[in-house]
A and B are shown apart, each in its own frame.
Chain A
Amino acid sequence: QVQLVQSGAEVKKPGASVKVSCKASTGYFLHWVRQAPGQGLEWLGWIHTSNGGTRYGQKFQGRVTMTRDTSISAAYMELSSLTSDDTAMYYCATEYQRGLDHWGQGTLVTVSS
């Protein structure tokens, strides 16, 4: 059974960056999805945990970076130039046949001055 464990909640000031981790094994696409308070799901991008290939949503191009460290089975999502609109729960999730079948518990990122 795949288990994804994410890092803890973060509080950041506007303009700062945040880096969220997701403990996961290798060999598949790992997606990042966020959900602002009371809002719907929004897709940020994916990283292939074996070869490090990435694909980002157009809205986040230039502001998001997804990386992985295979030696410790971890993936990372870094979002820069934060604004209050980036306040959200951030999830990592594995892909199976273009469906997201296993999800992390979520990491709450709060952006506040």
Chain B
Amino acid sequence: QSALTQPASVSGSPGQSITISCTGTSSDIGGHNYVSWYQQHPGKAPKLLIYEVTIRPSGVSNRFSGSKSGNTASLTISGLQSEDEADYYCNSYTSNNTPYVFGTGTRVTVL
């Protein structure tokens, strides 16, 4: 099972919106509505931002939103802030022998 494909880096200025893509196949993203997104600051454990494609856990800012179209999921960060500078990972449930797969990760830089 190969990792889901994410851009290595995305950048934006404070206040702007950015979108991170996560591309898989019909066996994972395209076949299930179990896509989740994680934010990881250096030296810290990942934090759940989105689950089931679009749902934010309690306490997560509404500046984070998720969506899916076909085999590609997306995370949008609106009103970019300096504290959003971190690594972001997508994850999907799959129909393959390995039931969960992470994305390759995206480094977000706030200019």
Contacts and interface: CB of A to CB of B under 8 A. Distances in A.
Given A93-B46, A97-B34, 16 more contacts: A31-B100, A33-B102, A40-B3, A40-B103, A41-B89, A43-B91, A58-B1, A97-B51, A99-B48, A99-B91, A100-B38, A101-B51, A101-B57, A103-B46, A103-B47, A105-B45
A42 interface: yes
Interface residues of A, number: 22
Contact of A99 (B1, B52, B101, B104): B52
B98 A98 contact: no
Interface in A63-110: 91, 93, 96-101, 103-106
B27 to A, nearest CB: 13
B100 A99 contact: no
Interface centre among B48, B55, B98 (most CB of A within 10 A): B98
B24 interface: no
Contact of B98 (A57, A91, A101): A57
A101 B99 CA distance: 17
B36 interface: yes
Contacts of A43: 91, 98, 100-102
B57 A99 contact: yes
A106 B98 contact: no
5 contacts: A42-B102, A43-B102, A99-B36, A99-B52, A103-B45
